[in-house]
C-alpha cells in the first residue's frame, strides 16, 4: 500500500495507524498514487487536512479545516494537525473495517508515560478526557493507563542522578519459538560457543563494574535475561553470577532478577546457583498451559513441566516468581486462554506479565505465513485478564507496546502489591541508565539532569561478540565519557 504525504512529514504515524487495521500489508512511501494500487493520501494545506484512501477499489475520503486555537499548550501547529488528521484516518478506517482499536490513534510504545505527562500538565480528570476524546482511546484502556501511571510513580521516586541498572544478555535458548525474533540461538547449534561467550561476558561484566565504581554510581537493579539464562549449564551460569557478585554490590540492590523462563531448562542445580548468588526474583514462563498451543509455537516442554519447575522453585525458597503469558497465540481461544490464566492464578505467583503476540518480521509465524489470531480475539483475552487479575488483587505496574502487536494492543506487568518488578519500570520509563552487557545488548545512557539518551551497541550475534570483543570494550569507554561530561556540567 502506498503512503503519500503532501506538505507534511507524517509518514511514520500514518503507516503505524494503517498497520493497526492491516497488519499483513506492506507499506511504501510514494510521491503520487499509481493506477490499480491501494494508497492513502494525507495532505495538509494551512490548517486544512485532507485524507483520501483507496482500498481494493473502494474510495474513502474526509476533509476538515481546524482552528489552531484548539491545540493543547505544548503542541506545535504541526503536531496538532498530525493528531487531528490521525483521528480522521482512524474514523474512516473504523467505519470501513467495522473494527475500533481500543488504543485509538495511539501507536507509541509508552502510553503510561504519556498519561503521566498529561496528568502533570492538566490534572488527572483532564488527562482522562484527553485520552478518550482527543486520542480516541477506549475507557477500559484509559483506566489501565491511569492505573499504571499511578502505580509506577512511587517506584520511580527513589531514583537519583546517580542511579543505574544492569542488564546481562544470555542469547541462548533450548529451542526457538515460532513467534521469536530475538537474537538468540538454540542450544543444539550454540553449545560450542557457550564457554567462550561466558568468558568474554564475564570480562565485560568486570570492566563495567570498574567503570560504575569509578563514577560513584548507585546500582538499583540487576536483570539477567535473553534468550534463556538457564540454557547455560549450572557451571557456566555460576561463572556469570560469580563475576556479577565480584564486580557489583549485589547485596545492596533493590532487585536482582534472573529469568529461568523455559521450564525445560530448569534444574535443581541451576536453581541452587541462582539462590546462592543473591537473586531475589525469577521468571518461570509457561506462555500457555495448553499443550496443543505449546506444540504449535515450538516450545519443547509441556504444561506439567512448568508446574514442576514452579513447585521446585518454591521448595528452593524463591518467594518472588514471575510467570509470562501471551495473549493471541496461534490455535488459542478465549476460553482456552481463560483456563491458562486461572491455572497461573492457582499457583499465586507474585508477578504475572501478560504479553500480546507480536508478528515480528523474522519470526517463523510470519516467514512461513502460519495462521494467527485476530486483534479482536487478543483484545477479548486482555479484557478478561484485567478483570480477573484486578479481582485477585494484582495491580498493573508497568506497560509497553511493541510494533506489530495484534490489534495494536499492550504488554502489562501485573503484581501483588509490594512485588512490582522494578527493573521493568526503570527500563521502560527510561528514568536512569541501563548498562547492558553481552551479545545484542544495548546500553542506554540517560543524562542525570535532563531527558537526553545516548546508546552504546554491542554486536548482535554471539560469534560476532566473541570475535570483535576488543571493539566492544573500546565502545564501553563511552560510559565514562558520558558521565564525566554530564557531572562536570
Q: Which residue has the cell 530475538?
A: 182
For 109-168, give the DSSP string. S-HHHHHHHHHHHH-HHHHHHIIIIIS---HHHHHHHHHHHHHHHHHHTT--TTEEEEEE
d(CA 394, CA 391): 7
CA proximity to 398, closest of 112, 187, 206, 141: 112
Q: Do residues 346 and 303 touch, judged by C-beta distance below 8 A?
A: no
Read off the pLDDT of residues 416-456 as tens digits, 9 standing for 90 and up: 999 999 999 999 999 999 999 999 999 999 999 999 999 99
Residue 139 has pLDDT above 60, yes or no: yes
CA proximity to 482, closest of 436, 443, 428: 443
Integer CA distances (angstroms), 88 to 82, 93, 331, in order: 10, 9, 35
The 8-class DSSP code of residue 23 comes to T
State residue 93 phi and psi, 5-degree precision: -75, -35
Distance of CA 310 to the CA centre of its chain: 24
Predicted confidence at residue 367, as pLDDT, reads: 47
d(CA 327, CA 321): 20
CATH 3.40.50.2000 holds for 155-476: no
Least confidently predicted of 158-162, 290-294, 402-406, 435-439: 402-406
Q: Do residues 109 and 400 touch, judged by C-beta distance below 8 A?
A: yes
CA proximity to 197, closest of 250, 223, 233: 233
Q: Do residues 40 and 14 touch, judged by C-beta distance below 8 A?
A: yes
Neighbour count for residue 268 (Cβ, 10 Å): 11
Task: Give the CATH number of domain 1-99; options: 3.30.1560, 1.10.1760, 3.30.160, 2.60.40.
Answer: 3.30.160
For 233-279, give the DSSP string. -HHHHHHHHHHHHHHS-GGG-SEEEEE---GGG--HHHHHHHHHTT-
Read off the pLDDT of residues 53-109 as tens digits, 9 standing for 90 and up: 999 989 999 999 999 999 987 899 999 999 999 999 999 999 999 999 999 999 888
Integer CA distances (angstroms), 408 to 12, 369, 435, in order: 15, 20, 30
Predicted confidence at residue 188, as pLDDT, reads: 60
d(CA 170, CA 167): 10
Residue 296: all three cell numbers together: 504449535
What's the burial of 415, exposed, middle or buried (CB within 10 Å: 0-12/13-18/19+)?
A: buried
The 8-class DSSP code of residue 450 comes to S
Torsion of CA 428, 473, 180, 388, to 10 degrees: -30
Q: Do residues 183 and 218 touch, judged by C-beta distance below 8 A?
A: no
Same-fold call for 1-99 versus 155-476 = no
d(CA 309, CA 264): 8
Read off the pLDDT of residues 31-54 as tens digits, 9 standing for 90 and up: 887 777 899 999 999 999 999 999
For the chain, domain boundaries: 1-99, 155-476
Q: Do residues 170 and 232 touch, judged by C-beta distance below 8 A?
A: yes
Residue 240 has pLDDT above 70, yes or no: yes
Read off the pLDDT of residues 305-315 as tens digits, 9 standing for 90 and up: 999 999 999 99
Amino acid at each position: 500500500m502506498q503512503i503519500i504525504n503532501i506538505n507534511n512529514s507524517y509518514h511514520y504515524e500514518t503507516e503505524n495507524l494503517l498497520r493497526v487495521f492491516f497488519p499483513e500489508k506492506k507499506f511504501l512511501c510514494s510521491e503520487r498514487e499509481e493506477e490499480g494500487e491501494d494508497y492513502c493520501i494525507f495532505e495538509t494545506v494551512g490548517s486544512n487536512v485532507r485524507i483520501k484512501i483507496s482500498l481494493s477499489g473502494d474510495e474513502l475520503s474526509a476533509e476538515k479545516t481546524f482552528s489552531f486555537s484548539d491545540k493543547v499548550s505544548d503542541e506545535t501547529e504541526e503536531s496538532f494537525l498530525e493528531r487531528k488528521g490521525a483521528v480522521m484516518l482512524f474514523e474512516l478506517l473504523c467505519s470501513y473495517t467495522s473494527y475500533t482499536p481500543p488504543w485509538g490513534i495511539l501507536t507509541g510504545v509508552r502510553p503510561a508515560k504519556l498519561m503521566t505527562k498529561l496528568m502533570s500538565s492538566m490534572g488527572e480528570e483532564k488527562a482522562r478526557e484527553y485520552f478518550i476524546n482527543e486520542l480516541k482511546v477506549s475507557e477500559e484502556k484509559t483506566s489501565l493507563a491511569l492505573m499504571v501511571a499511578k502505580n509506577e510513580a512511587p517506584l520511580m521516586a527513589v531514583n537519583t542522578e546517580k542511579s543505574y541498572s544492569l542488564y546481562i544478555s544470555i542469547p541462548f535458548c533450548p529451542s526457538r519459538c515460532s513467534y521469536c525474533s530475538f537474537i538468540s540461538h538454540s542450544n543444539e547449534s550454540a553449545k560450542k560457543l557457550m564457554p567462550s561467550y561466558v568468558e568474554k561476558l564475564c570480562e565485560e561484566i568486570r570492566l563495567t563494574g570498574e567503570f560504575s565504581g569509578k563514577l560513584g554510581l548507585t546500582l538499583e537493579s540487576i536483570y539477567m535475561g535473553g534468550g534463556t539464562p538457564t540454557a547455560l549449564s549450572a557451571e557456566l551460569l555460576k561463572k556469570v553470577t560469580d563475576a556479577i557478585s565480584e564486580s557489583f554490590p549485589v547485596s545492596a540492590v533493590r532487585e536482582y532478577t534472573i529469568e529461568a523462563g523455559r521450564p525445560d531448562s530448569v534444574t535443581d542445580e541451576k536453581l541452587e546457583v541462582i539462590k546462592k548468588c543473591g537473586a531475589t526474583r525469577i521468571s518461570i514462563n509457561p506462555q500457555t498451559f495448553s499443550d496443543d498451543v505449546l506444540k504449535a509455537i515450538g516450545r519443547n516442554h509441556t504444561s506439567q513441566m512448568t508446574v514442576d519447575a514452579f513447585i521446585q522453585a518454591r521448595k528452593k525458597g524463591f518467594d518472588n516468581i514471575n510467570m509470562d503469558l501471551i495473549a493471541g497465540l496461534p490455535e488459542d481461544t478465549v476460553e482456552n486462554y481463560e483456563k491458562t490464566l486461572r491455572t497461573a492464578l492457582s499457583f499465586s505467583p507474585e508477578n504475572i506479565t501478560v504479553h500480546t503476540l507480536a508478528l515480528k518480521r523474522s519470526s517463523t509465524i510470519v516467514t512461513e505465513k502460519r495462521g494467527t489470531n485476530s486483534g479482536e480475539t487478543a483484545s477479548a483475552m486482555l479484557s478478561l485478564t484485567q478483570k480477573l487479575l484486578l479481582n485477585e488483587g494484582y495491580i498493573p505496574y508497568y506497560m509497553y507496546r511493541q510494533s506489530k502487536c495484534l490489534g495494536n494492543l499492550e504488554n502489562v506487568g501485573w503484581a501483588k502489591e509490594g512485588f512490582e518488578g522494578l527493573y521493568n519500570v526503570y527500563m521502560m520509563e527510561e528514568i536512569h541508565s541501563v548498562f547492558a552487557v553481552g551479545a545484542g545488548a544495548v546500553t542506554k545512557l540517560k543524562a542525570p539532569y535532563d531527558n537526553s539518551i545516548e546508546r552504546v551497541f554491542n554486536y548482535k550475534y554471539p560469534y560476532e561478540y566473541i570475535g570483535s570483543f576488543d571493539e566492544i570494550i573500546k565502545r564501553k569507554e563511552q560510559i565514562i565519557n558520558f558521565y564525566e561530561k554530564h557531572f562536570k556540567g
